[in-house]
Amino acid sequence: MTQTLAFPWAAKLAADDLAAFIEDLWGAASGDNNLATLQAIEQAVAKHRPADEAGVPCPLYEVHLSALIDAANGEAPKESARRLGLALPTIYTRRQRACARLNADTVDQAVAICVMNGWITRDHVRLPEPVRGRSATGWTQLYRKRARQLREQPGEWLTTGPYTSRQSALRAAYRIRAGLIRDFKPRGSFEVELARDESVWALRLRFIGDPAQTHERPAS
């Protein structure tokens, strides 16, 4: 397989400039797995890329780039398959072929390469809802969606929130652990950790219960 370089222009930099670029890139990539880190990486690349350097053309077919954009938006393969009306193996195949064409080991790495080269931009990524103004119905819908995603990916960590304060995040963590929120029943089915991104509080969750066990909903 021919290797696709993420930064072919970097090989032309002087030694000191190359060292500065790598240092800034490592610093930008040392953050959490979120949009802020992706934006920091993008800024580091833009800072060091020569002004006369033409953009690298995207080597991906549209369907493969779309598959990575879905991943960048946090969409699980099952969600993509359901939304697009495709078989689940098709979604996995598209993501795997995108990784192969970019010589990436993981989908996350493939997404990062696309962001660094400008093939995935902010316009492709759906920003999260504002912290303030979410109604009780909005929280119910968010929890329902997140609980479903977690049950579909047992053992995988996902983030929910953001919360307006550390105290509100802690209250939510307690209610989830105790199974007091309907979609997170029964008690002890979910592991919860407090997370913070700059001034925003959130929770990291993963499903550790029995995948065959489902919570009961009252009849409507």
58-101 residue pLDDT tens: 899 999 999 999 998 888 898 899 999 999 999 999 999 999 99
Which amino acid type is present at position 218?
P
Q: Which of 106, 217, 88, 99 is nearest to 153 (CA)?
A: 88
Given a cut of 50, is residue 5 above it in pLDDT?
yes
| pLDDT, position 129 | 53
Q: What is the pLDDT of residues 207-217, one digit of tens each?
A: 998 776 655 45
- Spatial separation of the C-alpha atoms in residues 2 and 103, rounded to whole Å: 8
- Spatial separation of the C-alpha atoms in residues 159 and 205, rounded to whole Å: 6
Q: Hey, is 100 helix, strand or coil?
A: helix
Q: What is the pLDDT of residues 143-188, one digit of tens each?
A: 999 999 999 888 889 998 888 888 888 889 999 998 899 899 888 8
- Spatial separation of the C-alpha atoms in residues 76 and 1, rounded to whole Å: 28
